[in-house]
Amino acid sequence: GNSVTQMEGPVTLSEEAFLTINCTYTATGYPSLFWYVQYPGEGLQLLLKATKADDKGSNKGFEATYRKETTSFHLEKGSVQVSDSAVYFCALRPIQGAQKLVFGQGTRLTINP
Amino acid sequence: DVKVTQSSRYLVKRTGEKVFLECVQDMDHENMFWYRQDPGLGLRLIYFSYDVKMKEKGDIPEGYSVSREKKERFSLILESASTNQTSMYLCASSQQGLANTGELFFGEGSRLTVL
């Protein structure tokens, strides 16, 4: 079946630190991959996505590269800010045209000044 | 600005009560979803609707039902609330067919406590 596994949280970093949140997936075929972010008190919103192998999604200084050989889509940011404190969810859409996403368990990130 | 609006941000109910969670979207989306969010478990799909009056069970439909009488509105119903349904409930919508990029648009969530 289709599944997404994220690194265990919570993750606590100091401002300006380098961030990596690991995400690996299991899927048949060629899924699209997504990172969603949930800021405190808000719903989820799309952060970035990649639709095929070797694509890199980027937004707000965050990046993730679709690695088919390692079935991974790790989220990275070179220098985090306090405002990046949120819960991050990795997700996949199993095939082109599929209506539903499969989400990982979420990783809570706290950035200290 | 596109919007998914959930009627109640916080609810406190008693065991056995009937609970209605309402969701309205203004983007003319065909697809609407109800998820449950619990720490360590991520988002789990309760029900999905792809058209008016059409619904599909998700991963955890037990104890829940849904109603979609109008395209913009999707309701989640707990017929007899139980303490294990204490959770954050998230509504989402998306486009369908070729316009579907895979992006979901979420409401702010409804935090339900069942005593």
DSSP per-residue codes, A3-47: EEEE--S-EEEETT--EEE-EEEE-SS--EEEEEEE-TTS-EEEE
Q: Tell me which of A10-14, B2-6, B32-36 is least confident.
A: B2-6
Q: How far apart are CA A34 and CA A64, in angstroms?
A: 9
Please return the burial class of B17, using the count of CB atoms within 10 Å of its CB with bins 0-12, 13-18 and 19+. middle
pLDDT-derived band at A96, boundaries 50, 70, 90? low
Contacts with A45 from chain B: Cβ below 8 Å: 106
Searching chain A, which residue's CA lies closest to the CA of residue B50?
A99
Give the whole-angstrom CA distance, residue B35 versus residue B84: 15
- A16 or A94, which is more confident: A16
Q: Kindly tell me the burial class for residue A83, based on how many C-beta atoms sit within 10 Å of its own C-beta (0-12, 13-18, 19 or more).
A: exposed
Q: How confident is the model at residue B1 (pLDDT cuts 50, 70, 90)?
A: low
Task: Show the tokens assigned to A57.
Answer: 């999604």
pLDDT higher than threshold 90 for residue B39: no
Q: Is B89 left (phi over 0), alpha (psi -120 to 50) or beta?
A: beta
Test B48 with A100 for CB contact under 8 angstroms: yes
- What are the chain B neighbours of A89 within 8 Å (beta carbons)? 42-43
| Cross-strand bridge partners of residue A93 | A32
Report the run of H or E that residue B23 belongs to, with start and end. Answer: strand B19-25
> CA-to-CA distance for B115 and B81, rounded, in angstroms?
9
Q: Is A107 on the interface with B (CB under 8 A)?
A: no
B37 Cα to chain A: minimum distance (Å) = 9
Question: Are the Cβ atoms of A43 and B90 closer than 8 angstroms?
Answer: yes
Whether B103 sits inside 8 A of A43 (CB atoms) is: no
Q: A29 to chain B nearest CA, in Å?
A: 16
- Put simply, the chain A residues between 21 and 40 with a CB less than 8 A from any chain B CB are 32, 34, 36
Q: Please answer whether residues B76 and B90 qualify as being in contact, where contact means their C-beta atoms are separated by less than 8 angstroms.
A: no
